[in-house]
Amino acid sequence: MAYQTVTMRFMDSPFSSAPAFDTSVLDRRAWPMGGRLDYWTAPDGWAIRRYQLGSGLRGRMLVMGGRGDMIEKYLEVIAHWAACGWAVTSFDWRGQGGSGRLTDDPLCGHIDDFADYIADLRGLAEDWRVQGSGPSVMVAHSMGGHMLLRALAEGMERPDAAVAVAPMLGLHSAPLPRWLAVMIAQGMIRRGKGRLRAWTQKEDSERQRRMRQKRLTHDPERYADELWWRDHSREIAIGPPSWNWVAQALESTQALSDSEALARIAVPLLILATRADQLVSTPAIRAAAAQIPGARLHVYGREAAHEILRELDAVRLDALARIDAFLDEHAR
C-alpha cells in the first residue's frame, strides 16, 4: 500500500459531519499535522500518554481505545473527527501503549484492579472538560466502552452524548462457558500467576497474525498498519492480558450486568456492535442496551469484525456516518 502525507483541509462549516479530507490519501503511519502528544499525570503520579488534535469549533471529543490498543491505531478516525471541527483528545490506558507497564514483562497487559482505569478516566475527563467550550462527547471502543458505561453508571459527570463501539459488556469465552473461564482465571491467580500472560502470542507467527486479524478486521491493510506501528515503536507494543486482567474483566462485566446501574445512565447513547464479534459478547451488548433508557443500538452482520472503526470502508464509513449523524442530533 502506498502512503502519502497530506495537509488536512477543513471545510467552511465546522458543524458538517462530512469528512473534510480524502481519507484514501491519509497517511495512517504518520501523526497528523497540528496535533499535540504529551502526558497527563494521574493523582497517584502515573503518566498517561495523551494526544490532542483539532480546532474545537464543533466542541470537545474524548476517544477511548480498547485493551491492548494504542493511540496510533485510531489516528484515522481522530483525524476524521478533528476535520469535522471537534477538538479530539485520546489517550493510552494505564499499563499499555505509551502509558508504561505494570509488570516487568513489556508485552503483558496487566492491571491490578479495573477501578484504577475508572479513576484515570474520571480524573482525565475532569481536566478535559475545562479545556474548551461547546458540546462534549465521548466515543469508546471495546474495553473503553465498558469503562465509559461503568464510569457513567457510577456517577461520572456525563457528556452531552456518548458512543460505545463493540463495548466489552461481556467476554466471548467460547468454547468455554463463562463459569469455567472464571474458575480458571481465579485458579491461576491463587497459584501466583495473576501477573503473567494468560496465553502465549508468538510475535513472528504468520498463522497467529492471520487468525488475530480475522478476529479484529476484514481489512488486511489497516491491520498491517497496527503491526507497522508496533514494529517501529516497540515501547508501545503489547501482547496478551494477564490472568488478573482476565479475572477483572469477567468480574466487572458481570457486576455491571447484574446491577441496576445501567438503568441510571441518562445520556444520549449510541451503541454499535456486530453479530460476528469473537472477542466481546453481542448478547450481553443487546441486554445492556435494553436496560439503558433511550439507548440506540445498531448491530452489523458478518461484514464486520470486532474493530468496526478499522473495518473495510463499506462498514467503517457507514459507522462513521451513523456516529456523526447521532452527534449532530444530540451534541450541537
Residue of 17, 48, 51, 18 whose CA lies nearest to 34:
51
Question: Does residue 8 sit within a domain?
Answer: no
Return the percentage of the chain with pLDDT > 90, whole number: 87
pTM: 0.92
Grid-cell match 465498558, residue found:
146
Give residue 24's pLDDT. 57
With respect to residue 11, please indicate whether it lies within any of the assigned structural domains: no
Strand partners, 48: 40
Mean pLDDT of 179-201: 96
Establish if 43 belongs to a structural domain: yes
d(CA 25, CA 45): 39
pLDDT at 17 over 80: no
- On whether residue 251 sits in a domain, the answer given is yes
What would you report as the CA-atom Rg of the chain, rounded to the nearest whole angstrom?
A: 19
Instruction: Compute CA 199 distance to the chain's CA centroid, rounded to the nearest angstrom.
Output: 22
Query: Which residues sit opposite 34 in a β-bridge?
Result: none
d(CA 313, CA 46): 37
Q: Which residues pair with 53 in a beta bridge?
A: 88
- Whichever domain contains 248, its CATH number is 3.40.50.1820
Q: What is the mean pLDDT of the chain?
A: 92
Is residue 325, in this structure, part of any structural domain at all?
yes
Query: Can you give the residue range of the structural domain that contains 316?
Result: 26-330
If one counts the domains in the chain, the total is: 1
- Is 12 within a domain? no
Phi-psi region of 172 (alpha: psi -120 to 50; beta: other; left: phi over 0): beta
pLDDT at 283: 97
- Give the type of residue at 227: L
5 domain-assigned: no
Sheet holding 59-64, edge to edge: 36-41, 47-53, 86-91, 59-64, 136-141, 161-165, 269-274, 296-300
Q: What is the DSSP letter of 21?
A: S
Asked if the peptide bond before residue 293 counts as cis, ω within 30 degrees of 0, the response is no
pLDDT (0 to 100) of residue 284 = 97
Distance CA 317, CA 279 (A): 22
Compute the average pLDDT of residues 61-69.
Answer: 98
What is the length of the chain?
Answer: 332
* Residue 155 · residue 119 · CB < 8 Å: no
Element (H, E) at 38: strand 36-41
Mean pLDDT on 221-227: 97
Grid cell digits, residue 131? 479545556
Pairwise CA distance, residues 109 & 289, whole Å: 28
> Does position 58 have pLDDT exceeding 70, yes or no?
yes
Residue type at 306 in one-letter notation: H
- Nearby residues of 152 by Cβ (< 8 Å), 6 or more positions away: 158, 162, 265, 267
Supply the pLDDT for residue 10. 30
Helices 178-190 and 243-258: angle between axes, nearest 10 degrees: 130
As to burial, measured by CB atoms within 10 angstroms (0-12 exposed, 13-18 middle, 19+ buried), residue 81 is buried
- Grade residue 177 by pLDDT with cuts at 50, 70 and 90: very high
pLDDT in tens, 235-256: 999 999 999 999 999 999 999 9
Instruction: Report pLDDT for 5.
Output: 28
Cα dihedral 85, 331, 50, 319 sign: negative
User: Which residues does residue 162 pair with via DSSP β-bridges, in sequence order?
Assistant: 138, 269
For residues 307 and 304, give the distance between their C-alpha atoms in angstroms, rounded to a whole number: 8
Pairing of strands 59-64, 86-91: parallel
